[in-house]
Structure 1
Amino acid sequence: MRRWLPVVIGVPVAVVALAGGYALAAGDGPGSGTGSGDGGHGAGRPAPARPAGNGPGDGTRQLAAYTTRFKPGEARVKNIRIGARAIDGHVVKAGDAFSFNKVVGERTARRGYVPAPTIVGSRLVDDLGGGICQVSATLWNAVFEAGLKIDDFHPHTLWMPEYPQGREAAVAWPSLDFVWRNDSGRPIRLRTQVTGDSLTVSLWGTPKYQVKAASSKRYHLTRAGTFSDARSHCVPMPGGPGFQIDVFRTLTHDGRTVRRDRFHTVYQPEPKVTCTSR
C-alpha cells in the first residue's frame, strides 16, 4: 500500500490512500497486454539526471530530467522505445492533467509491443508490453523533481533496482494509471531520449518551485521463500526482501515552504525462483 500525504502550509492535511501491493484483476493477466511492471534485474540503478539534449527550442527552461538504465538487447527495450516515443513532444497546458494511459494508449501487438517480463502479484511473467513501466517510472521521477502535483499513481508490488526505492509508478491498461497535473501556471513540454542502454525524460517550462527530496531507510523487512518452477513460461527471479520506505519532498518558493509531501510505499518480498525447464 502506498499513501500520499500532502501537507500544505496553512491548510488542513489531506490524506489520499492509493492502491498498492496489487495483484492484477481478471483480464489483466498474461497475454492481455497490460504491461503492468518491469522485469530485468541487473539493468542498473538510475543514472544521475542529465539534460536530454533535445529541448523544445522555444525559450523555456528545463524543469527536471531523469535517466534510468536498461540492459541492451532485452525484449522490453522495444516497448520502452514505443512508449517513450508516444509521450515525446506532448504539451500539457497549465492546469491540465496528464494521464499516462490516455496519452500512450493500449499496449497491443498491432502497435508494435512485444512480450517481455511483467510483474503479476509477486512473480514475473512474460506479457505484452512488459517494460512500459520504465517509461512511467522515469517520467514519475522527472515530475517529482520538477515539483509538479501528482494526482494518482501506484507502486509496483516488488521493488525493481532500475528505480529509486519508493520513487516509481506502475501502469497497466486500463486498470492502473499515472496521472499528474501541471500546476506551474505555464505550459510544459515532455521530451524523451532513448540510447542503447538508457531512457531520459525531461520536462520543459517555467520553474515555479525549488524542490528538496529525502528518504528514510528501509524498515519492516520481510523475506520470501525459494522454490523451483518447471513450467515452460517460468521467468527466473533472484529474490529479495520486502520492505517499507518513506520518500519526502519539500517545495519552496522565494525561501518560503509551500508544501511538504510524504510518499509511503510497501514492497512485497520477492521469492527466489529457479526455472528447471530451461
Structure 2
Amino acid sequence: MSNKSTLINSLFIIMVLISSKIVYANSLDKSIINNIEVYQLTDIISTYTTYFDKGEMNRYKNIAISSKKINGQLIMPGEIFSFNEVVGPRTKDAGYKEAIEIINGEFVQGIGGGICQVSSTLYNSVLLANLEIIERDNHSRPVSYIPMGRGATVYYNYIDFKFRNNSDSPIIIIAKIVKNKLTITVLGKDKGEYVEIITSAKKVLKPKVLREIDRGLPSGTEEIVEPGAKGFEILVRRVVKKGNKIIKNEFVSKDIYSPKDTIIKINPKN
C-alpha cells in the first residue's frame, strides 16, 4: 500500500490546503504539517466517510465544531485518545446549537445534537486502522448515517469513546468536511495490513403490542397511537490480513437495539 498510499496522501493534503469548499475542520495548519513531516506519517492507514444534511444548519454546525476539535490530533504509541477530553463540553458558550439527538431511546432536541456522527465516523476509521478500542457504547436506536452495530455514542461526563494507539508509530487524525460529507482519516506508517469489518444481524427482536382502553373512541374501534419498531441484535467482528494470511480475527461488539412497543388504543363493544 505504501507507495500508492503516500501518493494519495500527498494529493489529499494538497486538496485540503487549496480547496475553498472545505470549511471548519479541513485545514491543515503548520503544526499538523510539521507533525506529519517530523514523524514521517505519510500513509493513509484508514479513512471513513459519513453523510449529513447541510440543510439542518444547527446539526451541521455541531458536526463542524467537534470535527475541528479532533482534526490534527497527534496520538503517540501507547497513548489513549478520549473523545470527550478532546472535544470538551457541549455548551452554547462553546458554539453548539440545539439539534436532534437520542436520549433514553427517543429522538429529542438537545445542545450538541449531531456530535455522535463525528464520534461514530472516527470509530469506524479507528476500527479500520486496527487500533485498540478501549471504551465505546452503541446508540440505543438505529441512525441513518451509520450501519447498525457501527455507531459510537458519546455524552459528556457520562459516555465516552476511547481508543489506544497500539501501533509502534505515532498517528494523526485528520477530519474534513466537503459539502455534505464528513471524512475522518488516520495517517501513520503503513504496515501492509488489510482490515475488514464484518457486521451480521444475529436476531430480529419483535416489539410488544400494548392495548389501552379508551372510551373516547367509537365503540368497537381501535387506533394505533405508536406503530412500534423492530429491534435487532448485531454482531461485529474485525478480520486483519497481511498478504494472504489472516493475522487477527476478533470479536468487536454485540449491540442490542431494543424494539419499540406498538401501542393501540381500543374501545371494545359493550
Give TM class, smaller chain.
0.7 to 0.9
Q: Does residue 221 of the first structure (1) align with residue 180 of the second (2)?
A: no
What's the CA shift string for 1:220-276, capped at 9, x where partnerless? Answer: 3223779xxxxxxxxxx9964211111110224463524523311101235799xxx
Listed as ranges, the gaps of 5+ residues in structure 1 are 1-49, 227-236, 274-278
CA pair 272-195 structure 1, distance change in 2 beyond 3 A = farther
Give the SS at the match of 2:86: helix
2:111 maps to 128
Listed as ranges, the gaps of 5+ residues in structure 2 are 1-7, 17-32, 211-225, 264-270
Structure 2 counterpart of 1:53, one-letter code: F
What is the rounded CA distance, in whole Å, between the counterparts of 1:133 and 1:94 in structure 2? 26
Greater percentage in helix: 2
What's the CA shift string for 1:24-49, capped at 9, x where partnerless? Answer: xxxxxxxxxxxxxxxxxxxxxxxxxx
Greater CA drift, 59-68 or 82-91: 59-68
What is the rounded CA distance, in whole Å, between the counterparts of 1:225 and 1:84 in structure 2? 41
2:12 maps to 53
Supply the RMSD in Å over aligned alpha carbons: 2.7
Alignment of 1:128-277 (within 5 A): 128-208=111-191, 209-217=193-201, 219-223=203-207, 240-253=229-242, 255-270=245-260
Structure 1 counterpart of 2:114, one-letter code: G
Max Rg structure? 2
Give, in angstroms, the shift of residue 142 of structure 1.
Answer: 0.1
Alignment of 1:53-92 (within 5 A): 53-54=12-13, 56=33, 58=37, 59=40, 60-74=42-56, 75-92=58-75
More contact order relative to length (CA 8 Å, sep ≥ 6): 1
CA pair 90-239 structure 1, distance change in 2 beyond 3 A = farther
Give, in angstroms, the shift of residue 170 of structure 1.
Answer: 0.1
2:91 maps to 108
Alignment of 1:13-32 (within 5 A): none
Alignment of 1:3-18 (within 5 A): none
* Kept in 2: contact 1:184–1:207 (CA 8 A): no
* Kept in 1: contact 2:98–2:111 (CA 8 A): yes
TM-score after normalising by structure 2 = 0.72
What is the rounded CA distance, in whole Å, between the counterparts of 2:174 and 2:180 in structure 1? 17
Give the SS at the match of 1:141: helix
CA pair 118-82 structure 1, distance change in 2 beyond 3 A = same
- Aligned residues between the structures: 215
What is the rounded CA distance, in whole Å, between the counterparts of 1:259 and 1:119 in structure 2? 32
TM-score after normalising by structure 1 = 0.70
